Structure 1
Amino acid sequence: MQRTTPQASRHRANFACQLAFSRAKWCLFGLILWAFALTQLFTPTAHAQTSSGLGIAAVVNDDVISMLDLNARISMVMESAQLEDTAESRMRIAPQVLRGLIDEKLKLQETRDSGVKVTQKDIELALKDIAEKNKMSIAQLTAHLQSIGAPISTLSARIETELAWNYYVQSRLAKKIQVGAEEIKDEINRIQTNAGKPEYLLAEIFLPVESPAQESNIRSMADGLLMQMRQGAPFSALAKNFSRAPSAALDGDMGWVQFSNLDPALQRVVTQLKPGNASPPVRTLGGYYIIYLRNVRTSPGLGGSDAAVKLSQFHIPTPKNSDAATLQGLAQQLVATTRNMTSCAQLEAAGAKSGSLMSGSLGEMKISSLPETMQKVLAELKVGQPSAPIPTGGGLAVLMICERTDDNVDMEKVRADIRERLIQSRLNVAEQRKLRDLHRDAFIDVRI
C-alpha cells in the first residue's frame, strides 16, 4: 500500500456564510447544490460508471471511500454541471470529485475528534429545505436522486460534513482572528485611492496543481471545462462543482476586483476579454484559472456615483476647426495657469478674467448626473485639486471640486463591512492551512 500526502491547495472553497445548527439560515442550500441542479434537469440519462461499482477508490486514515460512493457523487456532479453523462466525461472528472471526497473525510474526522456532532434532525431539516426550494417532497427528492444513480445518503453525507465543518470553523478558528481599527482605516484609504481606476466584475474556476504528476490531467480537465462552456454548460454550475477557489460556494463569483489585485498572469488575460466571455486556462503558480468577465467599470470609491460635489470650472473657448497643435497649446496654457491653484475661489477669480461666460461656479450636483468622461475625471480628483483640461462647451475646461458630500455613505456600516470582509479573508486562509495540515498528517491511499 502506498502512502501519499497530497498538499492541500491554498485556494479552497470558502463557504462564505456562517452556519450554526439552527434552522434560521440555510446558506447550505447554495453549497449542497454544487452536487445537483434539480429544477430544470429531470431528463433521465444513461449512467456509465467510471469502473465497477465494487471496490475501494481511496482509504483516508481509518475510513474508506468506495467506488459506489465515488460513482454516486460523480452522478450528482454531472447533473449539476449539466454535463453529458458519458464514460469519457466521468473518467475525466473522477480525480477532481475524489479529491473533494477525500477533503470531506478529513473534515469529518477532524470535527468528530473535536466533539462536534450533527444530529439526524439537523440533516433532515437541511434535506427538507433543499426539497422545498426545488418544489419537491423528501420522497420526490429521494426518487430523483435514485434515478440519477445517487442514493439520498450521498447527499446526507455531504450535508453532515458541511454543517460540522462550518460549526468547527466558526467555533474554533474564527475566534482567533482579530482585525484592528488601523487595518480598517488602511482599507478605507485603499478604496478611496483606487477610485477612478478600472474594476472588473469577475468569476473564476481554479484547479490547483499540487504535484508535477498532476499537470497533464489538470490541464486536460481545464480544457474540458472550457469545451463544456462553449457547448452551453453554465459557468456558474461548473465553478460550483469543480473550482477549488473560495468563490466556489458563490458559483465562482469574485465580485468587483481591482486590476492591481489580480495575479500578473490574470491581468494580461482580463484586459483582453469582453464582457460575457471566458478566458482559456491560465497557468499560475498554484494551478489553472478560467476567468469569466461579467462587466467593467470605473471604481466609484466609497461614495459611489451618488456622491454630491460642488464644482467650479475655468473655461476657455477654442476656435472652430482648431487643429491638434492648437488644442495642445491651449491645454498647456490652461495647465500652466491652474497648476498651483488650491481653492475654487482662485479658480473662479482666474476664470472671471478669461472672458468665458462658462467659467465660474457650476453649483452642486450628483456625480452620477454628469457625462461619463467627467465622472472619470472627478473620481480621481481630491477637493481643491485642478483637473487636467477636458473638452467641453466648445472649448477646454479645468474642473475643481470645492466640496464633496458622501452623505449616502454610512461609515459605521462601511467599517463593519470591511471588518467582516477582512475577517472572512483571514478565515479562508486559516481553513486552507488547517486542511493542508490534515492532509500532511493523514494516511491517504488512492487506488484509482
Structure 2
Amino acid sequence: MLICRMLKMTMLAGLAALFVLSTAAAQDVQKIVAVVNDEVISGYDLNQRIKLTIVLSGFPNTDQTRRQLVDPTLARIIDDRLKMQEAARYNITVSDEEVLNAIAYLEEANGMQPGQLDRMLRQNNIDIETMTAQVRANLIWNRLIEVRIMPRISISDEEVEAVRQAMEANKGKTEYLLSEIYLPIEPSAPEAQVRESIANLISQLRSGASFERAASQFSQGATAASGGSIGWVLEEDVEPEVAEVLPDLGTNRISDPIRSGAGFYIVTVKATRKILENDPNNISLDITQIVVPEPAESAESAGPEAQEKLANTISNFIDGCERLPDMLTEFNSSLSGRIGQIRLGDMPDHIKEILKDMETGDVSTPYFDDGVYRIFVVCERNDPQARSNDPETIRREILLRRAENRARGYMQDIHTAATVENRL
C-alpha cells in the first residue's frame, strides 16, 4: 500500500511538473512580442514565421539559428503589418485567388510540384495562414506601389532619349544580372546586432541556402517579392557602395555585407553581358542526348548501314521532349540521357555547329562520332538578349527603378508615423 501511494504521488508530481511546463510553453507562445498601432503580434506568430523561414530558406534547424532569426523575423512581421494597415487606409485588397496563384508561382519557380509547398508546411507543423499572410502582404505592397506611387511618376521623352543615347555611348560595357537582400538599420536596433545577423545570413547563403528564398523572407527592399531580383544593371545604376564590388564579385558568389547610407546590402551576380551586343556563345541549351551504339556482330542486320538506319528512324520518331523520359527508359542505353543546361560557348566547335540554330523541341540529325550515332534534343533554349534601346522598354525600366526608390522612402515614412512597441 505504501509503495502504491508513493507511485501515485510520484505520478501526480510528474503530471504537475508537466502541466507547469505546458502552461509556460503556452504562455510563451501566446505572449505579446510586439504591438503595431494597437495590433498585436504574438509569440505564436513569431515562432511560426521563424519555422517558415527555416523551411523555405534551407537554414539549419538549430537553437542558434532560431535565436539569430528572432530580431530580423520580427522586423519583417512588423513591416508586413504596417503594409496591411496602410493598404486598409486606401481600401486596397488582394483576393484569395491571387494569393493562391502567387503560391503556385513560387512552387513552380522553385521546381516544386503543385501542392508540394502545402505538404511541406504540414510536415513541419507550420500553419498555412503563416505563408498566405506573408504572400498577401507582399502582393498588397506591390498593389500599393502601383496605386499610390507609379501614377505619380512622370517620365518625359527627353529622359528616355537621354537613356537611349547613354546606352549607345556605353555599348560594349558590362551589365550585371543582379539580385539583392536589403536590410535597413532601424533606429531602435544597434548596428552591431544587425551586423551579426547579416554575418549569419551570409554564412548560410555561402553554405548553399537559396538566395531567392532568403531574399523573400529577409529583404526589406521592394525586390523581396521577386526573390531579390533587380534585373540587368550597369555599375552606375546601383548604389556606389554596391557598384564598387561588382567587377570582382564573380558569378553566383555572395558578397560581403555592403554598408550604404540607410542599411546593408547583400548581392549576388547571376550573369553578365555586354550592352547592345549579343554573344551567341552565351546561349544556354537544355539538352538530352541519345546514343545509338553499333549493332552487335551477331545481329542479322549488323553493319554501319543498319546502325545509320536505326539512328535516322529514332531521330524521325522523336517529337519534342514530352515523351523523352519514357523513350529513354525503353531505349535502355547507359550512354543516353539528359545532359542538362550547357552554354553553347563551352561546347566543341563541331557540336556547336549542330546546336547553334536549334530551337526548343528541335531534334538533330544523327551525328556519327567514335563508332556511335548521337542525336541531340533541345528541351529549352535561352538566348540572352542585349539590353534593348526600344523607347518603351527604356521608359518601363526608368519607371520601375524610380518606383523602387520611392517605395523605400514610403516605407520609412510609414514607420516614422507608426507607433511600434517591441516587447522582446
TM-score normalised by length of structure 2: 0.61
State the alpha-carbon separation in 2 of the partners of residues 409 and 290 from structure 1: 26
Question: Shift in Å at residue 304 of structure 1?
Answer: 4.7
1:230 maps to 206
Are positions 1:190 and 2:166 aligned together?
A: yes
The aligned amino acid for 2:149 is L
1:135 maps to 113
1:358 maps to none
Query: 1:199-244: CA deviations, max 9, x gaps?
Result: 3333322222233842111111121122112322233332332223
- Give the gaps of 5 or more residues in structure 1: 1-48, 307-367, 369-407
State the alpha-carbon separation in 2 of the partners of residues 128 and 251 from structure 1: 15
State the alpha-carbon separation in 1 of the partners of residues 270 and 105 from structure 2: 30
State the alpha-carbon separation in 2 of the partners of residues 63 and 194 from structure 1: 51
2:219 maps to 243
Pairwise mapping of residues 353-392 of structure 1 onto structure 2 (< 5 A)?
A: none
Q: Which has the higher helix share?
A: 2
State the alpha-carbon separation in 1 of the partners of residues 387 and 408 from structure 2: 33
State the alpha-carbon separation in 2 of the partners of residues 238 and 422 from structure 1: 27
Question: Shift in Å at residue 121 of structure 1?
Answer: 5.2
Root-mean-square deviation (Å) = 3.2
Q: Is the 8 A contact 1:207 1:289 kept in 2?
A: yes
Question: Shift in Å at residue 67 of structure 1?
Answer: 0.9
Query: 1:145-195: CA deviations, max 9, x gaps?
Result: 233232112123224333433333323332222211111001101111111
Question: Shift in Å at residue 65 of structure 1?
Answer: 0.9
172-181 vs 54-63, which moves further: 172-181
1:206 maps to 182
Match of 2:403 among 402, 416, 427: 427
Q: Is the 8 A contact 1:54 1:68 kept in 2?
A: yes
1:113 maps to 89
Q: Quick one: structure 1 residues 88 and 419, their matched pair in 2 at CA, closer, same or farther if it must change by over 3 Å?
A: same
State the alpha-carbon separation in 2 of the partners of residues 439 and 285 from structure 1: 17
Q: Quick one: structure 1 residues 305 and 188, their matched pair in 2 at CA, closer, same or farther if it must change by over 3 Å?
A: farther
State the alpha-carbon separation in 2 of the partners of residues 103 and 158 from structure 1: 10
Query: 1:244-283: CA deviations, max 9, x gaps?
Result: 3333333333333323334443344333333332222232
State the alpha-carbon separation in 2 of the partners of residues 234 and 129 from structure 1: 16
Question: Shift in Å at residue 141 of structure 1?
Answer: 5.3
Pairwise mapping of residues 93-104 of structure 1 onto structure 2 (< 5 A)?
A: 93-104=69-80
State the alpha-carbon separation in 2 of the partners of residues 410 and 439 from structure 1: 36
Query: 1:97-132: CA deviations, max 9, x gaps?
Result: 111111111111122222224455554565677678
Q: Quick one: structure 1 residues 218 and 257, their matched pair in 2 at CA, closer, same or farther if it must change by over 3 Å?
A: same
Identity %: 29
State the alpha-carbon separation in 1 of the partners of residues 112 and 87 from structure 2: 30
1:394 maps to none
State the alpha-carbon separation in 2 of the partners of residues 409 and 97 from structure 1: 38
- For the residue of structure 1 that corresponds to 2:269, the secondary structure is strand
2:55 maps to 79
State the alpha-carbon separation in 2 of the partners of residues 160 and 281 from structure 1: 29
Match of 2:275 among 287, 295, 300: 300
206-215 vs 415-424, which moves further: 206-215
Q: Quick one: structure 1 residues 92 and 173, their matched pair in 2 at CA, closer, same or farther if it must change by over 3 Å?
A: same
Pairwise mapping of residues 21-420 of structure 1 onto structure 2 (< 5 A)?
A: 52-120=28-96, 122-123=98-99, 134-137=112-115, 142-211=118-187, 213-297=189-273, 299-301=274-276, 304=278, 414-420=390-396
Question: Shift in Å at residue 300 of structure 1?
Answer: 2.8
123-132 vs 188-197, which moves further: 123-132
State the alpha-carbon separation in 1 of the partners of residues 169 and 414 from structure 2: 40
2:378 maps to none
- Give the gaps of 5 or more residues in structure 2: 1-24, 281-344, 346-384
Q: Quick one: structure 1 residues 430 and 92, their matched pair in 2 at CA, closer, same or farther if it must change by over 3 Å?
A: same
- For the residue of structure 2 that corresponds to 1:249, the secondary structure is helix
Q: Is the 8 A contact 1:184 1:415 kept in 2?
A: yes
Question: Shift in Å at residue 142 of structure 1?
Answer: 4.6
Q: Quick one: structure 1 residues 266 and 128, their matched pair in 2 at CA, closer, same or farther if it must change by over 3 Å?
A: closer
The aligned amino acid for 1:135 is Q
Q: Quick one: structure 1 residues 114 and 67, their matched pair in 2 at CA, closer, same or farther if it must change by over 3 Å?
A: same
Question: Shift in Å at residue 419 of structure 1?
Answer: 0.9
State the alpha-carbon separation in 2 of the partners of residues 271 and 410 from structure 1: 19
- For the residue of structure 2 that corresponds to 1:277, the secondary structure is coil
State the alpha-carbon separation in 2 of the partners of residues 241 and 424 from structure 1: 22
The aligned amino acid for 1:438 is I
Question: Of the two structures, which has the highest relative contact order with CA contacts closer than 8 Å and spacing of 6 or more?
Answer: 1
Q: Quick one: structure 1 residues 251 and 164, their matched pair in 2 at CA, closer, same or farther if it must change by over 3 Å?
A: closer
State the alpha-carbon separation in 1 of the partners of residues 386 and 235 from structure 2: 24
1:385 maps to none
Q: Is the 8 A contact 1:142 1:151 kept in 2?
A: no
